[in-house]
Amino acid sequence: MISVESPPPEAARRTVKLLAYAGRKDNALRIAIVILYVIVVLLGATTSSIGIPTLRQDPAHPLGLQIGASSPIRSDEYNAFSAIVLSIMATGGAPTTSVLAAPAGLAHRYPSGGFFETFVYFDSTLLRTATFLPDTMVFAAHWWLPALLLFLFLPKWFSQVGSARRWGWMAAFLIALSPAASWWTMMPIQLIAYTITGSSLILSAHKRFAEGQRAVPALQCMVAGILIAGLPSFYIPWSLVLGLPILAATVGWIIAFRGRWRPKLLSVGSAGLVALVFGLGTLWENRAGISALLDTVYPGSRRSSGAAQPLAMLFGAPALGPMQDMTPVGINESELSTAFTITFVWAALLIVFIRNLGSPRDNVVILTVGTFAVLWLTWCTVNFGERGSSIPLLNYVQPIRAAQVCGILASVLVCLLLDRLPKRVGWRAPTVAAACCALVTAYAASLLQQSYLPFMTRPLIFAAAFTVGACVFVTTKYAAKVWPIVLTSAVAVVPIIGANPLIFGLGDLRDSETATYLRNEGRQAAASNGVWASDFSPFDTVMTANGVPALSGLQRSGPNTEAWKNLDPEAKYTNAWNRGGGFIFFEWTVGQPLDIGTLSYTADVTVVRVDPCMLKDRWPSLQGISSSRSLDAPCLVPERTLAWAGREFFVYKFR
């Protein structure tokens, strides 16, 4: 009898197809990245510093699980960025920044009901799913989304412009694991990831248009345009440094591509038109915040010129590991951190040793990225004098900010150049490149020891230099292999492995007794157009995170001038409150006249010293206040006490 094999069941066929897909190119790694993203979302795990003791109800008994200590220097993250995200999740709409402040949608990428901004700031729009999904998962999904897009689309972008995908993976790791990305809580990743994704979609649309397709590439152009429309948002100086070069390189590659012009015009033109319409629409919807920011004393009137930055900071990234255990002298960790600017040296030597780069048309991406990279490196290494502050676009970028992230462009550039190496590389180029990079790293690390990090040991200096040299050597010598890329990516994590905590959940900002009380009060205040105020900044943060409308708190895009006139009708204190990018603090001074000033050590904090009864008279919708000390005023009615940051706070309502 002849047996006839039955066809495999449907589940088996799907498994075979999945395994076949995973075995092609780098699909297994891409699948692993997606799985990792899903895992951290389900666990609600992030590297946020919202678990810092000042944002705990009882620091001795914190809620949830946290591995590692929060970073105090990231106050903008836990007091502003994450607080705004949590506020959107709590309200299901716009965050509860101070009612004295102008809308800050452009500065923090969140919509306030406008049509265009709802799509352009899609990442914040998705936060509204917290109305039916767990807050911890939504927060984690939003936190890791830029990193997910970076790792999925940068390797693809590399392959689309003619380079091997493996170099895109190395560039992604060098960006994501740079000290700048770590100590700035992944801001550089967010500022480049969406542009990379949009650029990759334009390249995909160009290919599909060339193949005669219509519907799919048109959709890709629409999504790409929306992503690119968000380029002038969040932290605009870094958007200019990081996003613009990738977009320009993408458009340049399409134009230089040897092919018909119709697919080029359709892809670039369609995406550009969508970006223009949605970009202008978003700017129009945020015109109030933009106008307020431009008219502020700080930072709206600030223009910068190019200036030389310390070499220790520029090239010292590989030796910044000690910052995890010691505080720098004369500068904070964020200001000292940079990307791997040493890749400029590596890239320059590769250009010298690569004998046949080809025609300019074949190297339009390298030329474009390299031109922008050198431009920003020049901006932070050469003194331009007063005339530099008159150069459009460049004058919006402080040289120290350019110094911190221009190494990201250099990382992309060096990976593009490594792809041009022959399969067999001699000993000369790797040896010279390794020696030069090691020497520059050793010199920069030594300068760090003499200035910012005096407790750095000599063995660590030599270790950093040797490691850089070794990685440069093996990656250049064995450019056709994958293992040097794995080694370099693994080594890159060393300077930042303990820089940030790993926190599961939202700490005390959601489930603590204080947070629950404030969330309920916030709903009632929002329903009756009421507001609150506090005299303690961390208490302002927990109010913001739980959607409490307040006078105290965040003023990120400048003041709401009409609102401030209620407190300062004669505009006597305009220079104190006409500020952006900062915070509004209150101090309760019972029986004393109103006084509005700033803190002596920072320009972005406005301090309102006021009698709570006077405040109630000038702001009738004030429903409650929190005070760090007991108050005795005729208008106040004691409500209860709350605990926060290990301290007792007195809550008062009004007669």
Q: Could you read off the pLDDT of 397-452 as tens digits, one per residue?
A: 999 999 999 999 999 999 999 999 998 999 999 999 999 999 999 999 999 999 99
Pairing type for strands 531-534 and 553-555 reads: unpaired
Q: Is the CB of residue 397 less than 8 Å from the CB of residue 314?
A: no
Largest CA distance in the chain: 105
CA distance 196 to 16: 32
Going from the C-alpha of 125 to that of each of 119, 138, 201, 345, 379, the distances in angstroms are: 8, 11, 21, 41, 36
Q: In whole angstroms, what is the distance from residue 11 CA to residue 561 CA? A: 64
Cis bond upstream, residue 217 (ω within 30): no
pLDDT at res. 12? 63
SS (H, E, C) 6-21: CCCCHHHHHHHHHHHH
Which amino acid is residue 366, in one-letter code? Answer: I
Question: For residue 247, what are its two tokens?
Answer: 């977009």
User: CB of 430 within 8 A of CB of 473?
Assistant: yes
**Distance from C-alpha of 328 to C-alpha of 330, rounded to nearest angstrom:** 6
Which residue in 246, 227, 273 sits closest to 265, CA to CA?
Answer: 273
CA torsion sign for 552, 557, 561, 563 is negative
Q: Is residue 75 classed exposed, middle or buried when 0-12, 13-18 and 19+ CB atoms within 10 A define those classes?
A: middle
| Residue 444 DSSP symbol | H
Token representation of residue 225? 């345009």
Report d(CA 449, CA 465) in Å as an integer: 14
188 close to 242: Cβ distance less than 8 angstroms: yes
pLDDT tens, position by position, 466-510 = 999 999 999 999 999 999 999 999 999 999 998 999 999 999 999
- Write down the pLDDT at residue 354: 92
Burial-class residue 11 by CB neighbours within 10 Å (0-12, 13-18, 19+): exposed
**What tens digit of pLDDT does each residue of 143-199 get?**
999 999 999 999 999 999 999 999 999 999 999 999 999 999 899 999 999 999 999
Element (H, E) at 439: helix 428-450
- Contact at 8 Å (CB) between 71 and 333? yes
**Exposure of 470 by Cβ count < 10 A (0-12 exposed, 13-18 middle, 19+ buried)?**
middle
Continuous segment of H or E residues that includes residue 606:
strand 605-610
* Length, in residues, of the chain: 655
For the chain, residues with pLDDT lower than 70 are: 1-9, 11-24, 301
Q: Report whether 179 contacts 171 (CB < 8 A).
A: no
Degrees, nearest 5: CA angle 134-135-137:
70
pLDDT at 1: 44
Query: Are 606 and 576 in contact, with CB atoms under 8 Å apart?
Result: yes
Structure tokens of 280? 């202008």
Q: Phi, psi at residue 479, to the nearest 5°?
A: -65, -20
Q: Is the pTM of this model over 0.85?
A: yes
Query: What single-letter amino acid sits at 251?
Result: V
Residue 8: other Cβ atoms inside 10 A: 11
> What per-residue confidence (pLDDT) applies to 325?
84
- Residue 642 is predicted with a pLDDT of 98
**Helix extents (H) in 423-536:** 428-450, 458-477, 483-492, 508-511, 513-527
CB 22 within 8 A of CB 28: yes
